[in-house]
Amino acid sequence: MKAMNIVNALNDALDIKLSEDKNVVIYGEDAGFEGGVFRVTEGLQKKHGVERVFDSPLAESGIAGTAVGMAAAGLRPVIEMQFCGFIYPAFNQIISHITRMHNRSRGKYKMPIVIRLPYGGGINALEHHSESMEAMFAHIPGLKVVVPSTPHDAKGLLISAIESEDPVLFLEPKRIYRAIKQEVSEEKFSVPIGKAKVLTQGTDVTVVAYGAMIREVQKAIVMTKEAGYSVELIDLRTIYPLDKETIIASVKKTGRLIFVGEEPRSFGVGSEIMAIANEEAFLWLEAPPKRVAAFDVIVPYPQGEHHYLITPDKIFYEIERTIKF
C-alpha cells in the first residue's frame, strides 16, 4: 500500500498497463516529455520509451482519429485531451468512428481506446477549462463513460478502461486531482465498469453523485447528521452503462432521491436518473426526485464561478426540503 492522490493513482495504472501490454501507447498534447499539464503521465516516457508515450501534434481530431487506425491495427491507445473544453474538434471522430467502427465492421475492428479527459470546475481556470459535459458523451451509443472520485477507484477504473474492448471516455475530476490522499495497493487491481458503489448507508434519502461532487455531498452529510437525517450516498463511478439496480434498490429503501452534479441541469445525467426513478421505482417515491445541478448557463469566469458551483449547504438545503416534503 502507498499513499496516493488521484494523479499518482492514474500514473500507477498507466505504468502497470504499459509494463504488461506492449500494445498500450499513450499520446496527446504535452502527454510525453512533460507528462501532461497535470503530470498524470509524468516519468512514463522516460521509463517506457518515446515510441510508447509521446507528444502528438496539437490537434484533437488528429489525436482521436489516429487512435481509430491504431486500434484497428491492434494497439490499445490511451489518448489525452488536455481539458474537457478542448475535446470538441475530436467530437466527429468520437461520434462518427471511435464509437461506430465496431458496429460498422460487424465486430471485425474493435476500438479499445481510452480518452482521458480532465473535466469540471472549481479551479479558477480560464474559459473552456471548467465544463462538465459528460451527458453529451453518455448519449452516444457505443461509448462507455467512466468517472472516479477516489485514488483507489481512479486506478482500478483506468485499468478496466484500458482492458475494455470498447472505447471508454475516462473523466478525471481535476478539482480533486490532488485533494484526496488514500492508501492504494501498488499491485494491479481493477474496479469494474458499470458498477456504482454505496459509500454511505442511510434510510431517509438517496443521493446519487460522482466525481468531484462526492466530496461536496460528504460535507453536506456532516450537516445532515447534526440535523438528524440519514442519507444514503451512491457514487456512480460509471455514467454509462449506468448501474440502475443499485440506484433503484436504494430508492426503494429510502423513498427519496436527489441527484447532485456539476453539469448543466437540463437534459443531463441527472435527468436520466430522474427518469429511472420514475420508470422503475414510482410507487416507492415519497417525494419528487430532485436534481441539484448547475444552471443552464455558460460556466462563469472565476470571479463569478461561486454563483455556479454546487456547495455543501445547497446540497443540505435540498436534502432537507426533500425529506420534509
- Supply the residues annotated as catalytic: 129
Cell of 16: 502497470
Give the shortest CB-164-to-another protein separation in angstroms: 7
Q: Strands 205-209 and 197-200: what pairing?
A: unpaired
Q: State the cell numbers at 98.
A: 471511435
Q: Which is nearer to another protein, 77 or 268 (CB)?
A: 77
106 binds another protein (CB under 8 A): yes
Size of the site for another protein (CB under 8 A): 46
Which positions from 183 through 212 interact with another protein, judged by CB under 8 A?
194
Q: Would you say 6 and 14 are in contact if contact means Cβ atoms under 8 Å apart?
A: no
Please, which residues bridge with residue 168 across strands? 114, 144
42 binding another protein? (CB under 8 A) = no
The CA distance from 222 to 215, in Å, is: 11
Q: Is the backbone of residue 272 left (phi > 0), alpha (psi -120 to 50) or beta? A: alpha
Q: Considering only residues 46-85, where is the footprint of another protein by CB under 8 A?
A: 51, 56-57, 59, 61-62, 64-75, 77
**Site map 145..184 versus another protein, x via CB under 8 A:** -------------------xxx------------------
Among 18, 191, 242, 281, binds another protein (CB under 8 A): 242
**Which of residues 240, 274, 293, 299 is near another protein by CB under 8 A?**
240
x/- binding map, residues 109-128, to another protein, per CB under 8 A? xx------------------
> Concatenated DSSP letters for 262-304?
EEESTTSHHHHHHHHHHHHHGGG-SS--EEEEE-SSPPPPGGG
Report, in angstroms and rounded to the nearest whole number, the Rg of the chain calculated over CA atoms: 19
Find the shortest distance in angstroms from Cβ 74 to another protein: 6
Helices (H), the chain: 6-20, 44-48, 60-72, 91-93, 101-104, 134-138, 151-163, 213-227, 244-254, 269-281, 305-308, 312-323
Q: Which is nearer to another protein, 61 or 230 (CB)?
A: 61
Interface positions with another protein (CB under 8 A)? 25, 51, 56-57, 59, 61-62, 64-75, 77, 89, 92-93, 96-97, 101-110, 141-142, 144, 164-166, 194, 240-242, 244
